[in-house]
Amino acid sequence: MESTDCTTLSQTSFDALGPEVRTLQTASGRTVNYIDEGEPEWQPLVFLGGAGTTVRAFRLLEFARTLREELGVRIISVERNGLGGTAFDPAVGHEEYADDVWSVLDSLAVENVSVVAISGGGPYAAWLAAARPDRVRSLHLACAYSDKLAGAQVTFNVGQIAANPVTWWTFPPESSVHRIPGFADSVIEEAVRGMFARGRDTPPDGLQHAFDLYQEVVLPDLSTMPTPSFLYWGADDALVPQAHMDRWRSWLPNVACERVYEGEGHDVQYRHWDQILVDVSFLGEREIVSAHGETLLATPQRAAELRAAGAMAGMAAWSTD
């Protein structure tokens, strides 16, 4: 009951400071770090971040958390070998990592999942899908590295990255990420966590191991995974060029949709994260556009009509300065 000398406020619990990192011992006996964001009944999505990222890197995509929750998408992500707070094990490669992810999903009683991989998460997504193709509802690859057969290798100096990990996250001035409030500062936090979460003097063995795997990997057989795949690429992506999209297209048995964005580079996973979420929810049957300050969910045909009339791809936040 309200009175003039006492007012009831609404907050009775703590607000989250980004994804909560949880710990689990998998069937292999390895201890892994993971996040689980969302309600149990929502559509589960396994998220695989880029090279060198920790399990908390997903918070960089939570600028669309309201949309994600409105669509009912639950995010599960397992930290990769030797990154962030996960100890390095030289015996853990793509296949072992995939086994651990499925073990986490089994422990959470999650049966069928969609899988999203960005950038360096690509090969891990392939092994994850190859291990349990019957449990993959859909596969979404955003500017994702494929394998050495794409003919466009990605090489980096691990020593230089470890010496100044923030440079790993440098986006050009024209990148759309600079429009996201707090993104630049959050990137610094993620870069430092990726390299130094286990101490300043911890060697970057996990990152070096990951880059060694990129140079060696050939995609596993995905021919028994008939579920739909979605590809997202920037036409001007110089870091992971379209040769990798071509490689995915030739290797996946059911590419349902290719979304290539003219004039965009290696940041489509951020600029078009909203469309990825919509594809996870509707499997290509809806597109997200904005017009006159409103965010609209439309059929592909209606979305094309709206764009022709001046609507913009993505939620309305992208259209404001």
Contact 123, 214 (CB under 8 A): yes
Mean pLDDT of 231-258: 96
- Cα–Cα distances (Å) from 23 to 79, 94, 193, 235, 307, in that order, read 10, 20, 17, 39, 45
Dump pLDDT digits (tens) for 39-80.
999 999 999 999 999 999 999 999 999 999 999 999 999 999
pLDDT at 321 over 60: no
d(CA 239, CA 216): 18
Looking at residue 3, its pLDDT comes to 62
Say whether pLDDT at 133 is over 80.
yes
Q: What's the mean per-residue pLDDT of the chain?
A: 94
| The amino acid at 123 | P
pLDDT mean over 256-276 = 97
| Of 95, 45, 52, 106, residue with least CA distance to 276 | 45
Topology annotation, domain 22-285: Rossmann fold (3.40.50)
Of 16-25, 53-62, 163-172, 291-300, the poorest mean pLDDT is in 163-172
Residue 196 — pLDDT band, cuts 50, 70, 90? confident
- The average pLDDT across 3-11 equals 87
Domain residue ranges in the chain: 22-285, 286-321
DSSP for 27-38, written as a single string: TTS-EEEEEEES
In sequence order, the 6+-apart residues with CB closer than 8 A to the CB of 22 are 33, 34, 35, 36
Instruction: Give 27's contacts (C-beta < 8 A, 6+ positions apart).
Output: 99, 103, 106
Q: Are 191 and 171 in contact (CB under 8 A)?
A: no
Rounded to an integer, the average pLDDT of 76-97 is 96
| Residue 70 confidence (pLDDT) | 97
What integer pLDDT is reported at residue 320 of this predicted model? 66
